[in-house]
Amino acid sequence: MDWKSRRVQGILESALMEDKATSDTTTAITVDASLRASATILAKQDCVVAGIGCIEQILSIYSKLTGKTNRYEVISHPEMFDGVRVKRGQAIAVIRHNARVILSCERVILNLMQRMSGIATLTREYVDAVKKSNVNILDTRKTVPGMRVLDKYAVRCGGGQNHRLDLSDGILIKNNHISLGGGVAAVLARALEKRKPGQIIEIEVRNEDELEQALQGGAESILLDNMTPSQVEKAVARIRKVAGKIPIEASGGMTLATVPKYAKTGVDYISVGALTHSAIAVDLSMRITAEIF
């Protein structure tokens, strides 16, 4: 993750502005402006960590917004990095900074890390559920508006892979495209004609008829949507017979209970919307103490 990229910086700055972090009334009237403090971010449950890099960037952006430069440091153990499993009670990072700044940025830091770590933790559960196969777990575009780059990064921290980042990122023909575009054959022919060099055409199919049309139409990647494991297994056999080793993806209501069954069907990928639309934020806390000199 490039935490200094314009897109990420915009997300972090918006989060600080949403919380009015530079106008923290309570902190301003209760805490001495010169007080320095240490803040330890603690895991209150077992989880996979994601978002450590946001801490320093949030503090840096806060300084730019206020025009005040305060010396600070963010300390973490060399073995503590995004993607690492941590145990309940384990320290993730320590911030040493002006006490007012820490208090004003506390909620933004925790909100982002809790959500990202929740996604990473859930993703790791799905990855572990199919570890006896060669299947790769993919995310989807079912992300929080404005947060996609962080949501998808968190998926990678959990061991998953990213599907399309946005609508310009590759060709994925779905059922509504097929319905509005005149059918499988028509949309495939149009896509093959108008695609840019290097673009792979993936098409979603929901039954045997659509699958046969997709194979005859020259699909280069197949998405098997809302099929049972037995239907997927049969479809995979047909695809391999007709089109060889083209990528095959399964999707549609995947759960931790069902993904092992789909992983045995021979598909290459399983996409799981739940990774980003249903992940529960993990419980993190920030323990802040004054530094006495």
What are 254's two structure tokens? Answer: 């995947």
Specify whether 20 is catalytic: no
For the question of residue 142 being annotated catalytic, the response is yes
**Cα torsion 113, 115, 118, 123: sign:** negative
Active site includes 36? Answer: no
Marked catalytic residue, from 106, 139, 151, 204: 204
Measured CA to CA, the distance from residue 266 to residue 100 in angstroms comes to 55
- CA angle centred on 181, ends 192 and 202, rounded to 5°: 45
- The residue from 82, 225, 233, 249 that is catalytic is 225
- Which entry of 96, 142, 261, 264 is annotated as an active-site residue? 142
Catalytic residue among 64, 68, 88, 174: 174
| Residue 56 annotated to the active site | no
Tell me if residue 233 is catalytic.
no
- Residue numbers annotated as active site: 107, 142, 174, 204, 225
